[in-house]
Amino acid sequence: MDAAMVDRLAAGEGWALLQSLPPYDEAASLSLQGRLRDAGFDADLVAAAMTQSRLRARAVDKFGDFAAGMLFTPDGLEQSTRLAIAARHAHRYAAAGVREVHDLGCGLGADAMAFARLDLAVQAVDADDATARIAAVNLRHWPTAHVRHALAEDVRLPRGAAARTVGVWLDPARRVSGVTDARGRTKRVFSLDAISPSWSRVLAFADQVPATGAKLSPAFAHGSVPRGAEAQWTSWHGEVLECAVWWGPLAATSGRTAAVCTESSTWVVTEGDAGDGALEPALGSVAEVGEWLYEPDRAVIRAGLTGALVSAVDGAELASGVGYVTSDRAGEVPWARRFRVLEAMPLSTKRLARWLRDQGHDRVTIKKRGVTLDADVLRRQLKMTGRGKGGSEATLVLTRIGGSQVALVVSPA
């Protein structure tokens, strides 16, 4: 969608058309488009409005009721910050005494909306003209929020004493324009050198304005965490969404942290929580597996903080980096799942199949980490197709211990 179409949709006939559309229904979309064209609406405007209707339906999961009054692009919606997570970002700035935030690379304006909802003044820019105009539409309810089309590198930021109540927020573009995939999405990039603004430019902003934050990929390398900054990996219902790096007064705890979030709760895990658990050796053999198996939230694993779970349950990681922790102690850890270990053995298809049959199982759920096995191929080899009569389902954990592949049969606690 180009800038001209954004303007058409944002006012007059276009906005009235968009707001009059019924809830999006894929099955009825073609016939609805035909009726709208027959009613005299321009075909391009109808197509753009229908696209917005479809994107709004998808956006409800991230934006709730706000989605009904917003404009989107497919890439922008995919990359935009979930509103609940954006609110967490905004609260950092407010708690640090920031009164004005420069949102450099604002995208559709999700984070800027969260800043504005806390009565922070917002100066937002985006390098793409159409995207900047969309953000302006999405921020229209907040008079202290201003959006313009500009490069982050061209923004003049305050220095010294003038920067004390000013913050900077960056969400560098992690997609490149040009070739798209079969679903119309542009190519994703993972290198810090390829994001825009570049990582070196992000670091320069942080040097100039102490209260700086940047949203990066969950694949952000631990070795790239700047000295004194906080890098927080955040999950939402178990899905890791981002790694945000915080400098100066925005950093609650220096080093790596994990935030495990749901609608009702947030748990934060730090390097300090790992304590001696980060130094505990992994298991040497499958015979050392305890009565219980724990699986931490993925944000904890991404942050490299499995040691916090080791400390919490007085256990040991099965193998370095796999994330699974075993212990003979049954404990409740809000950011980890607990399973009872029913059987633990070296991974042998014949032995495992025989054990499963002897226990009356005819189908399996397979969880794997640290191994390259194809779960569907293994399921066929085990003949666990669920075609038997009266059989039950087993949960298998395929992973590594002491350099060897192992299979654990577990039951959720």
pLDDT tens, per residue, the chain with 413 residues: 899 999 999 999 999 999 999 999 999 999 999 999 999 999 999 999 999 999 999 999 999 999 999 999 999 999 999 999 999 999 999 999 999 999 999 999 999 999 999 999 999 999 999 999 999 999 999 999 999 999 999 999 988 888 899 999 999 987 665 555 565 556 666 688 889 899 999 999 999 999 999 999 999 999 999 999 999 999 999 999 999 999 999 999 999 999 999 999 999 999 999 988 777 889 999 999 999 999 999 999 999 999 999 999 999 999 999 999 999 999 999 999 999 999 999 999 999 999 999 999 989 999 999 999 999 999 989 988 766 566 799 999 999 998 899 999 999 99
pLDDT tens-digit readout, 328-372: 999 999 999 999 999 999 999 999 999 999 999 989 999 999 999
Entry field: residues in the chain: 413
User: What pLDDT was estimated at residue 391?
Assistant: 79
Res 174: pLDDT: 74
pLDDT at 84: 97
Residue 85's contacts (CB-CB under 8 Å, 6 or more residues apart) are: 234, 236, 241, 242, 261
Model pLDDT, residue 89? 98
345 contact partners, CB below 8 Å, separation of at least 6 = 286, 351, 352, 355, 406, 407
**Cα–Cα distance, 21 to 45 (Å, whole number):** 13
Measured distance CA(109)–CA(122) in Å, rounded: 10
Among the listed residues 256, 222, 216, 259, the one whose alpha carbon sits nearest the alpha carbon of residue 237: 259
How many CB atoms neighbour CB 190 within 10 A? 10
Give 340's strand partners.
292, 411
Beta bridge partners of 125: 104, 148
Contact 256, 280 (CB under 8 A): no
Give the whole-angstrom CA distance, residue 163 versus residue 98.
9
How is the beta sheet containing 316-317 ordered, strand by strand? 316-317, 325-327, 292-296, 336-346, 404-412, 392-401, 361-368
Distances (CA, A) of 327 to 2, 269, 291, 315, 339: 57, 20, 6, 4, 10
Q: In terms of pTM, does the model score above 0.85?
A: yes
Q: What sign has the CA pseudo-torsion 91, 123, 60, 23?
A: positive
Closest CA to 171 of 267, 241, 121: 241
* 3-state SS record for 5-62: HHHHHCCHHHHHHHHHCCCCCHHHHHHHHHHHHHCCCCHHHHHHHHHHHHHHHHHHHH
Residue type present at position 289: V
The per-residue pLDDT for range 222-274, each reduced to its tens digit, is 999 999 999 999 999 999 999 999 999 999 999 999 999 999 999 999 999 99
pLDDT of 201 reads 94
What is the rounded radius of gyration, in angstroms, for the C-alpha atoms of the chain? 25
Beta strands in 226-335 (DSSP E): 230-236, 239-246, 255-261, 266-270, 292-296, 316-317, 325-327
